[in-house]
Amino acid sequence: MMRSIENTGFICLNCHKKIEKLTNGSYRNHCPFCLYSLHVDKHPGDRASTCGGLMAPIGLAYKSKKGWQLIHCCQRCGIQVVNKIAIDTVQPDDLQKVTTLQG
Ligand SMILES: [Zn+2]
Ligand SMILES: [Zn+2]
């Protein structure tokens, strides 16, 4: 069976911009422009979910070890997940947009 964990570019289903893969050794799972994500993972990077719903950025969480993280809520099934903010890469997250999520 083919392992599907990979770091690839994709087209954002929310804003339709072309997103390049991360260059900081991490794994891109949300759009740096509109911050939307897709519910395709059960655990980060495994692509094991069959939901496929759009995940809206709904807030920010601060974890002392991981730094700032985005909270995403799936528009289809309602699950909430936290994702690390992408910086130190091409197309870093729009931090101005990120800070608007802060309570
Ligand atoms: Zn987008
Ligand atoms: Zn979902």
Place of tokens 């949300």: 30
Domain extent for 53: 10-100
Q: Is 61 contained in some domain?
A: yes
The reported pLDDT for the residue numbered 7 is 66
Q: Is 59 contained in some domain?
A: yes
The number of domains in the chain is 1
Contact status, residue 82 vs residue 61, Cβ threshold 8 Å: yes
CA of 32 to the centre of ligand 1 (A): 7
Q: Is 5 contained in some domain?
A: no
Q: Is 52 contained in some domain?
A: yes
Considering every ligand atom shown, identify the ligand nearest to the alpha carbon of residue 13 and give its number.
1
The reported pLDDT for the residue numbered 25 is 81
Q: Is 20 contained in some domain?
A: yes
Q: Is 4 contained in some domain?
A: no
Alpha carbon 96 to its chain centroid, in Å, reads: 16
CA of 65 to the centre of ligand 1 (A): 27
* 98 contact partners, CB below 8 Å, separation of at least 6: 35, 57, 60, 68, 70, 85
Q: Is 1 contained in some domain?
A: no
The reported pLDDT for the residue numbered 32 is 95
Q: For the whole model, what pTM was predicted?
A: 0.82
The reported pLDDT for the residue numbered 39 is 94
Considering every ligand atom shown, identify the ligand nearest to the alpha carbon of residue 10 and give its number.
1
- pLDDT means per 10 residues, the chain with 103 residues, are 62 94 84 94 85 95 86 96 88 91 76
Q: Is 36 contained in some domain?
A: yes
CA of 20 to the centre of ligand 1 (A): 12
Considering every ligand atom shown, identify the ligand nearest to the alpha carbon of residue 54 and give its number.
2
